[in-house]
Structure 1
Amino acid sequence: MKTFVKHLATASVLGGALFVAAGAHAAGSLDLNLGADAMQFEAAAEITQGVALGGGVINSEYREDATIYHAQLLGVQRNRERDVGIGARWTQFDTDYGDGGGVGLGGYGYVYLPQAPDVSLGGYGFYTPGIATSGDLDDGYEVGVRARYAFTPNVDGYVGLRQTTADFDNRHGSRTLDRGAQVGVRLSF
């Protein structure tokens, strides 16, 4: 827990710097979710219309200690029907099984239900191939699904499932670093 607080403080400082760099009028979000074995914090801001820069950290004790950082640059679009983003992500793994990072591709997509416009369903996925990795990391991915509810125009609550797996090119091989249900809140501004 103490380690996560340290990582959360670092991510908060980086998130604040992100918003200052993006400018006072840019759209942004802060996201915090909790699971039985993990906590995650993310921050994102549009640096220009339709382009978002973000980052985050997951601290998981699913099997062993794992801290997973990411920074991403996505093309984004949000309207009354959908919320989508596609782009590149750097993911850095700091685990008991191995350390390393790499550049991957992926995105997210949510659709708002016409019968219940405050509800959206969707998910996300990012894959880091072995050709673009460093350190012990051979490849890795993070995938998740979520059901979101807009309590206000600026506050979404959600429930979801997430799995993060990395394959290390050492004696440990492929390891699931985080898997399970989560509940979270996202503030948009």
Structure 2
Amino acid sequence: MRKLLPVAAAVGLIFGNHAHAIGLDLSFSDETANLELMSPISSLIENGGQASLGVFFNDVDDIVIHGKLIAVGNQTNSRLPYKLSFGAKLYGGEVDVEDGDDVDVGALAIGGAFDINLTEGFNPIDLALEGYFTPGITTFGDTESILEIGARLSIEVVPQAKAFLGYRLLEVEDDRNITFELDDNVHFGIRLEF
């Protein structure tokens, strides 16, 4: 329980002033779960941005806490409106290794996302692609690199809620050049905005 205290403090600092615009993203597969709180941060990034804090865990007791700070640009003047985002993602956690010598995960990654609105009108459908990578120079702990790639197809159920089907690949390479696949699953989820 004491390990969660820094996470709770970080959530309060990041989202305390933006309670009116909090979003919650929940995604699950048979083997994994990812929970993420999101908030716009237009006070820090002039034309719009987003901060998020989340936790990923799987059925083999791997756990990764992640935080993201991204700049977001909406392009609405095209036939199909789309959104581009670019920023940094911080990872910290632990990979459970069978021999009992757990791997400490830590890295600062760069990456971004492309989100396109495929339909207009009632119940719009979006397709989003996202990716983050970190080279060895921005890693710490036992981590040599992290690769995260994701895709999702979502539909707006009501204006404050989307349901989605997605895919996530999350790999951690340690300093012994052993790659651990934390996630390689199709998942379903919901995104709520308050």
TM range (shorter): 0.7 to 0.9
Contact 2:64 2:105 in 1 (8 A): no
| Pair 1:71-2:67 in alignment | yes
Take 1:73 and 1:162, find their aligned partners in 2: how far apart are those partners? Answer: 19
Contact 2:119 2:126 in 1 (8 A): no
Q: Structure 2 residue aligned with 1:162, among 155, 159, 168?
A: 168
**Helix, strand or coil at the partner of 1:73:** strand
Take 2:182 and 2:36, find their aligned partners in 1: how far apart are those partners? Answer: 18
The within-5 A match list for 1:15-54 is: 15-21=11-17, 23-24=18-19, 27-48=21-42, 49-54=47-52
The within-5 A match list for 1:101-180 is: 101-114=106-119, 118-170=124-176, 173-180=178-185
TM-score by length of 1: 0.83
> Which structure 2 segments of 5+ residues have no match?
98-102
> Which structure 1 segments of 5+ residues have no match?
none
CA offset digits 1:40-67 (Å, max 9, x no partner): 1001111215021111111112xx3211
CA offset digits 1:74-102 (Å, max 9, x no partner): 00134661233210111113111311301
Contact 1:15 1:44 in 2 (8 A): no
Take 2:138 and 2:193, find their aligned partners in 1: how far apart are those partners? Answer: 32
Q: Equivalent residue for 2:82?
A: 82
Structure 1 counterpart of 2:89, one-letter code = R
Q: Equivalent residue for 2:189?
A: 184
Larger radius of gyration: 2
**Helix, strand or coil at the partner of 1:134:** coil
TM-score by length of 2: 0.81
Instruction: Determine which structure has the larger strand proportion and give its number.
Output: 1
Larger mean CA deviation between 95-104 and 133-142 belongs to: 95-104
**Helix, strand or coil at the partner of 1:135:** coil
Take 1:176 and 1:101, find their aligned partners in 2: how far apart are those partners? Answer: 15
Q: Equivalent residue for 1:60?
A: 58
Contact 1:60 1:177 in 2 (8 A): yes
Take 2:61 and 2:155, find their aligned partners in 1: how far apart are those partners? Answer: 31
RMSD over equivalenced CA pairs, Å: 2.5
